Structure formats: C-alpha cells, structure tokens
Chain A
Amino acid sequence: MKNKLLATIKKEILILIRDKVGLSILFIMPMILILVMTLIQDSAFKTINEKGIPIVLVDNDKDTLGVSIYKGLKNSSLCFLSDSIDGKPATSESARNAVAKGKFLIGIVIPKGATNAIRKNVLGLVGETMNTNIVSKNAKDESIDSVNIIFYIDPVTKKSFISSITSNIHEFIATVKTQIMFQSFSDQIASIVPSGSSPPKNTYAKSQIINYKEIYASDLVGEMVPSAVQHNVPAWTIFAMFFIVIPMVGSILKEKKEGSAFRLHTMPTSYLLLINGKIIVYVVVCMLQFMLMLSVGLYILPLFGLPMLQLGNSLMAIFIVALATSFAATGYGVLVGTLASSEQQGAILGSLSILLLSALGGIWVPTYIMPEIMRNISTLSPLNWALEGFYKLFFRGLGVNGILFESFKLFIFFIFTLGIALFINRMKRKV
C-alpha cells in the first residue's frame, strides 16, 4: 500500500514538473493576479483619497450656508472641489452640462437666500420656544420657504459616493442651523436677563463636547489599518488556490483519455489510493502557491509603494486555514474531474463554478453589501469559509481557536466532495 502510494505520488510529481507551461501557470499567474488586482484596487482607493471625487459647487447663497459647505467640502479629503468650469464661475446650467459630460461626478447648487431661509426658520422656532414675539416679529411676517439644494449626479457615480457627499452636506446644514439657533438663543437670553450681565460668547464652539475617534476592533498589536493589500492578498490567494481545480481536472481526464485510467482499473489498486496520490501532490502545490502569494504581499507589493501584508498573531493558524483550503480545493477538483467526461467539459465546469463560488463567497465584492438572500447563500461557499478564516487572522488578530470552525467546514467539504466523487466513479462503472 505504501509503495503504491509513493509510486503514485512520484508519477504525479514527474508529470507535473515536466509540464513547464502548466507549472508556470500554476505559480506565476496567481502572483500576477494578486499584484495586478491589489495595485488596481489600491489605485482606485488612492484616486478617491488623494485627489477626491470631482465636485462642482454653485454657491448662489453667498452667505453662511454657502460658505460653510464650500469650506467643508474644500477641506474634505473625499472631494476635489471646484467653483468654476473652464475658467468661468459655475452656474446651475453650466454645472448640469459639465456633470452630464462627465467632467464632474457631482454638481451642487445652493440656492440664493438659503441661509436666510434657515435663519428665518430657526428664529421662528426660537420665538415660539421663548414665547415672545420680540425676536420674531419680522420673521413671523414673512413666509418661510423651504431650501432646495440641487444635486446633479453623473449616472456612472457609485451610490456610496453620492451617499458620502449628501451626508456631508446634511451635516453642514445641520451645523449652520445649530450655529444660528445657538446665536439666537444667546441673543434672546441676553435681552431678558438683567442689564450688566454679559451674554456668553462662542456658545456653539463651547457646545462641541463630543469628538469622534475611529479605532479598529482588532486584537492585532499596533496600529491596524485595513488596506487593499490586507483585503486582496487573502481573497485572491484563495481564488487562485481553488483554481487548482483546472490542472487537477486536466490530470484526471488526461488519464482517462490516454487510457491509463482504463489500465489502472484492471489493476489491484483502488481508485481512492490513486486519487490520494494526486490529492497529496496537489495539496502541496496549493500550499506552495499560498506561500508564494503571501511572499508577494510581504515582499513584492511594498516595492510598488503598497503597505506590507500583516500576517496577524498566529502562523500556526495561517497554516491550518491554508491547509484546509488546499484540501477543499483539491477535493473539489477530484469531484469535477470525476463528473466531467472531457477535458473541455471539465475546464468549463471547473472555471465557471469557481467564478460562481468566488463571487458568492465574497472574493469579488464584500458579502456585507450583498442583499440578505445572497448573504445567506454566500455562507454555503467554501471560498467564503476560507476568506472568513483569513480575515479573522489578518484583520481581527485571532489565533488557532478562532479559525477552527472555518477549517473544520473546509475539511468536511473535502471529505464530502471526495465521497461524492468515489460514488460517481463507482456508478459510472455500473453502466
């Protein structure tokens, strides 16, 4: 038994290392994939972070609200703000045309008298609250119009960008309203308290007692800042590891096509033993792929100005998840190779199913932005289990205990796919 297994392993290794093109595809392509995908995604983030979303602002208000929005957007790292188009001051019409032509992703038009309208609205509220008609006698006389800030949006703009900008604008308006309200209350209080006492100054600035601090909830030591590298390296590594299915399917079906499988079926050797030899070799290949791709994250990506991949707190846990992922990928390869009846069929079935499982598993887009039904389905993808495992290590800084469930599911998937493959093989021979 041992000799047979060793002979099968030796045969698989010899076939693999003599296929120079196949071997280079197995190792070089995943490295290029990680490099390209990480650089692309990082540059996409950088475009937004460094230059910002191109926005044109038409300020017809020329008062507190207009100035506040202008200053706020100008100082925001999210935006690249302009108030002119082709050297001329932007108007509502020219802003609309410029956005339609794609020169800007978003155009914002603040109407004339917007601040005044807010002021009247606030003064009315203050007057009602203080139960006095002194402050609001002018305001009461005038009708209060609602303020319509117009957003022109390029249809190609991502909804998340629009949400970010509109929420910023809402915050600026709220700030201006609060400032006016504070000032009005302050003035009212000053008018009713006995003379000689001085009204409070800079009341709004003093009221800002709540500050925000963003801290990533992670057990990782030091400053853990999620980056494109941290996201992409595990995701594309898993994707590439599962693509071991293609050479595995090729190997299984080539044996059928070349007649070796026929001969082997007539020999006193079980199909399981032959497949085990293949699995051992391809699991080692997967692990080598994994190490190479981690090396890209550790040593190659920093050469392109990207942050270095942080491996978390437990190398043993990384090894366990990687091994479980390798077994799951090879088990799936055996299943597809046993199911398919030609190399073409196997290649199509293998590659399309991996694309599907990777899309479902959150390799392409995060599962948290998926609709609920898709989020539920995604939990069935082994690529999702592997990704969850690596995220727990690389982002949350967990150890072996943290990834045992994901690893267990991946090993069960391996046993399940192998069992199905053996059953199908037996059924195929009972024609």
Chain B
Amino acid sequence: MSSETIVQIEDLIKIFTDADEPAVKGVSLNIHKNEIFGLLGPNGAGKTTIISILCGLFSPTNGKVIIDGLDLYVDIKSIKKIIGVVPQDIALYPTLTAIENLEFYGAMYGLSGKDLRDKISKWLEKLGLTKAAHRKIETYSGGMKRRVNLIASILHQPKILFLDEPTVGVDVQSRNVIIEHLKELNAEGTTIIYTSHHLEEAENFCTEIAIIDYGEILTQGTPDELIANTPNSTNLEDVFLNLTKRKLRD
C-alpha cells in the first residue's frame, strides 16, 4: 500500500445555520492512496457531514482540505472529476432502465459512445445484471438497485470512491458481490472511503478505520491496532461500544 496521502484534512469545522453546536469540531485526518478507509460512528456523529464536504455538497465553516493535491476551496470542479459517490439512498431514476440510468450518469462524468457502452456492459455483467439491463429500476429488488447504484458511481474509474452505507438493506448474496467488487476496484488503484453501521463488515473490509463521535475523531488505526489498543475488546464492535458508550443517539 502506498503511503502517499490522497486526502488531507486539517482542523475541519462545520457549523450548520441555526445549529446549537458544530457538527464537525476540528477534525484532522490523513487518508493514503489505495486505502479502504472506514469512517465509523453512531448516528449524528458527523460522518455524513465530513463525506458531504469532501464531495463538494456543501462548504466547510473552517479548515483545510486537500484531495489528490487539489484544494477543495479552489479546485472543486477538478476534484469532482476524480471522485465517485455511492449515496446511502438509491439515487436512480425509477422509470428508466438500468442502461438508461447508467448512460445518463456516465455522460455526466464526461463518458460517451463506445467507451461508455463497453464500461456499462462490463459492470452489468460483473454484478450479474446483464439480463435485467433493459428493465426499469422500479421493477428491481433492493439488492439489484444497490448494485446499479454502485455502478453509476464507478463507471469513470474514480481515484477516490466515497461509500455511504453501500450494503444497507441488501441480502447476503448482493452484499458479498458488492464487497468483492469494491475490493477488486481498490486493487486496481481506487482509494475507498467508507461509512457503515455494519461493524463486522467494516472490520473485514477496511484497511484503516477512524471512529468519530460528536464531531470529533476518537481513535484511528488498522482494525487490528484498534482492537489491540482498546481494553476489553475482542472485535471492532467492542472497540466501538467502549469508545462511543451505550447512550442512545437521536
């Protein structure tokens, strides 16, 4: 794995309008090339806010963010060309077929013609969707929709892929296929930044993990390091509960 930093975050702060306290309180992180970086935390911890800032969905209140050598404040257009985002919700047009959806999203990344068609065919085949390619998304099962949702974000072979709960609500078969192909993508050079509540999946999938709560990073390291360094912990779930406690979150 390369030790070259691809995402550098320094003292990131985000205060939403009318919010009582900051959603992100001075977070600093370094994510290296080809890592599968897990950003884990309870509901409302600030994971989605950080990912949304990194994707350019909204601007930070303060802090410095460098992505692949590009300043987020200055080069957001260039950054958007090298990232892919798999949202937690299915972000597809239900009345369009899988192919029509992928042709549209591929075009939005600047792909066209044979190159685009070949990439769509390749990924539909890899994720077992070739037969259903001409069916409308609204007729798909939850697992099938998740797979198309993933393809729409990786057609342009992004340098960095953001995944927000990519396997939520899908069956084991679909989850395995998705994780397997994400690992393949990572092996081909894509850095993955991933959030999930599925801690067992994260433990097996991620090469580096940061646990966040109340807008602050509580700890960071490889899954083995986190388990070893946290008392009374035999797995990532123990680490998570020891650090974030058992108090229910809104």
Contacts and interface: CB of A to CB of B under 8 A. Distances in A.
A258 B94 contact: yes
A14 B96 CA distance: 7
B73 interface: no
Given A259-B91, A263-B152, 20 more contacts: A3-B110, A7-B108, A11-B93, A11-B96, A11-B104, A14-B95, A14-B96, A258-B89, A258-B93, A259-B87, A263-B85, A263-B91, A266-B57, A266-B162, A267-B108, A268-B77, A268-B80, A429-B59, A431-B16, A431-B17
Interface string A250-283: 0000000011101111111100000000000000
B92 A258 contact: yes
B140 to A, nearest CB: 14
Interface size range on A against B: 20 to 34
Contacts of B55: 265-266
Contact of B93 (A7, A15, A269): A15
A10 B104 contact: yes
18 contacts: A3-B112, A8-B104, A10-B104, A14-B95, A15-B95, A18-B95, A258-B91, A258-B92, A259-B89, A259-B90, A262-B87, A263-B91, A264-B108, A265-B55, A266-B80, A266-B83, A267-B105, A429-B59
Contacts of A430: 58-59
Given A3-B112, A431-B16, A266 B56 contact: yes
Contacts of A4: 107-108, 110
Contacts of B136: 18
A142 interface: no
Nearest to B162: A266
Interface string B52-74: 00011111000000000000000
Contacts of A10: 103-104
B105 A263 contact: yes
A4 B103 CA distance: 10
Contacts of A266: 55-57, 80, 83, 85, 162
A86 interface: no
B203 interface: no
Contacts of B238: none
A19 interface: yes
A265 B57 contact: yes
Contacts of A267: 80, 105, 108-109
B59 A265 contact: no
A297 to B, nearest CB: 34
Nearest to B112: A3
A262 B91 contact: yes
A8 B103 CA distance: 10
Decide if the interface of chain A is mainly helix, strand, loop or mixed: helix
Nearest to B106: A7
B107 A7 contact: yes
B16 A260 contact: no
Nearest to A10: B104
* Most chain A beta-carbon contacts within 10 A, residue among B89, B90, B107: B107
B57 A429 contact: yes
Nearest to A270: B77
Interface residues of B, number: 34
Nearest to B95: A18
* Most chain B beta-carbon contacts within 10 A, residue among A15, A260, A262, A430: A260
Given A265-B57, A266-B55, A260 B107 contact: no
B183 interface: no
Nearest to B54: A266
B81 interface: yes
| 9 pairs of A and B residues whose beta carbons are closest in the complex | A259-B91, A7-B107, A263-B91, A268-B80, A266-B85, A259-B89, A266-B55, A18-B95, A267-B108
A272 to B, nearest CB: 13
B167 to A, nearest CB: 17
A3 B107 contact: yes
Given A429-B58, A430-B58, A269 B108 contact: yes
Contacts of B58: 429-431
Contacts of B165: none
Nearest to B83: A266
Nearest to A265: B57
B237 interface: no
Contacts of B77: 268
A263 B104 CA distance: 12
Given A264-B108, A266-B57, A430-B59, A15 B96 contact: yes
A266 B152 CA distance: 12
A350 to B, nearest CB: 22
A265 to B, nearest CB: 6
Contacts of B80: 266-268
A235 to B, nearest CB: 34
Nearest to A274: B108
Contacts of B96: 11, 14-15, 18
Interface string A1-40: 0011011101100110011000000000000000000000
Nearest to A11: B104
A268 B110 CA distance: 8
A14 B100 contact: yes
B62 to A, nearest CB: 14
B101 to A, nearest CB: 9
Interface string B152-187: 110000000010000000000000000000000000
Contacts of B56: 265-266
Contacts of A18: 95-96, 136
A429 B108 CA distance: 20
Contacts of A14: 95-96, 100
Nearest to A257: B89
Contacts of B85: 263, 266
Given A268-B80, A268-B81, A263 B110 contact: no
Contacts of A429: 57-59
A272 B107 CA distance: 16
A259 B109 CA distance: 17
A113 B16 CA distance: 87
A268 B109 contact: yes
Contacts of B87: 259, 262-263
